[in-house]
A = this chain, B = another copy of it.
């Protein structure tokens, strides 16, 4: 049995609390947050506290707080055990006030309003010694089939790629939905296309999947689209991404 304490009350902490408390072989010993209210939801399944100085003993302490708060929270921890954070962009070394440190980064987008299935979620781990590697691998493997070891620089690169395929992609969804809403067309019509575009990647690669006017070098459609767009930011995005697609396939628009 691996005992874990979770530190934080945000989306990542919530999702981890949920999956840990439903996993055999893991015991969620305690949750800490500076505002108790944010973790009251879990009061029935574990001990909750807002006093960081008197945490119970656990094998692993997982700090799931905002990037800029990690270092300070770590400094306030007066515990033994492995201390890890969950951030994609933050180096393991911000935990250097402790001896046994590591990273436990689940590559997924989390919100509180729906529980995700962890079994497919890639978990990127990093530690500085063999014993802790085994411990972290063990807990990660209980909740996910996809556990990877990456160092801090590699993890930053993965996080950067994730910004492109998640944050930026979602913003393009928003722009498409917003444009149709403004034109009194129900944007839900786009959903089957969005789903197919994403799921196609399971079998194929995005280079081969590309279609559309920019790839075809279809100047007539390109110009007609720019004319339909009234928002200057959307025009700019249309232009830049079309040109980037055209260049990728050795053409210029």
A-to-B contact residues, CB < 8 Å: 67-68, 89, 107-111, 113-114, 116, 120-122, 124, 146, 148, 150, 154, 156-158, 160-180, 183, 185, 187, 189-207, 209-215, 218, 220-221, 224-225, 228-229, 233, 236-238, 240-241, 244-245, 247-248
Contacts and interface: CB of A to CB of B under 8 A. Distances in A.
Contacts of A238: 163-164, 168
A191 B201 contact: yes
26 contacts: A67-B218, A67-B220, A109-B197, A109-B200, A122-B192, A146-B192, A150-B185, A157-B180, A158-B189, A160-B228, A160-B229, A161-B190, A163-B238, A164-B173, A164-B238, A165-B176, A165-B193, A165-B194, A167-B210, A167-B212, A167-B245, A169-B197, A170-B209, A171-B248, A177-B206, A198-B198
Nearest to A165: B176
Q: Is the interface of A mostly helix, strand, loop or mixed?
A: helix
B148 A161 contact: no
Contacts of A158: 180, 185, 189-190
A170 to B, nearest CB: 5
B196 A109 contact: yes
B161 A180 contact: yes
A68 B108 CA distance: 42
A201 B194 contact: yes
Nearest to A211: B109
Nearest to A168: B241
Contacts of A162: 176, 190, 193
Contacts of A150: 185
Contacts of A107: 189-190, 192-193
A156 B108 CA distance: 34
Count chain B CB atoms within 10 A of each CB in A110, A122, A198, A225 and give the residue with the most.
A198
A244 B209 CA distance: 26
B164 A175 contact: yes
Given A194-B169, A194-B198, A197-B169, A156 B189 contact: no
